[in-house]
Amino acid sequence: MSQSASSSTFGDRAQEIWAEYERTHDLSGKEHLAVGIDPETGEIHFGASMVEIGNRLDREGRFKPLFYRWVDDPSYYHFGGRR
């Protein structure tokens, strides 16, 4: 699978995961937070910024590239990560 096809598939999966999360969770008070979505595991990570989420996962030894968005903004951003 090409890099762009892989990214597109992961992006689609991340959107599905987020849509389900929005339907099943109350997001009151989280409107201005960043969200990191792991399309492989379905894990959702909240933080003040994309960098903050990445740094926290790095400290925990669990860092990997995620799809990011803001809770109140439908735009997705793929963060390539550091390594």
pLDDT in tens, 31-65: 999 999 999 999 999 999 999 999 999 999 988 88
Q: Does the predicted TM-score (pTM) go above 0.85?
A: no
**pLDDT tens column, 12-25:** 999 999 999 999 99
Give CB contacts under 8 A, 24+ apart, made by 35-44.
Answer: 35/68, 35/69, 35/70, 35/71, 36/66, 36/67, 36/68, 36/79, 37/66, 37/67, 37/68, 37/69, 38/64, 38/66, 39/10, 39/11, 39/13, 39/14, 39/67, 40/10, 42/17, 44/17, 44/18
In this structure, is the dihedral angle defined by the CA atoms of residues 41, 82, 1 and 17, taken in order, positive or negative?
A: positive
Q: Residue 39 has what pLDDT?
A: 92
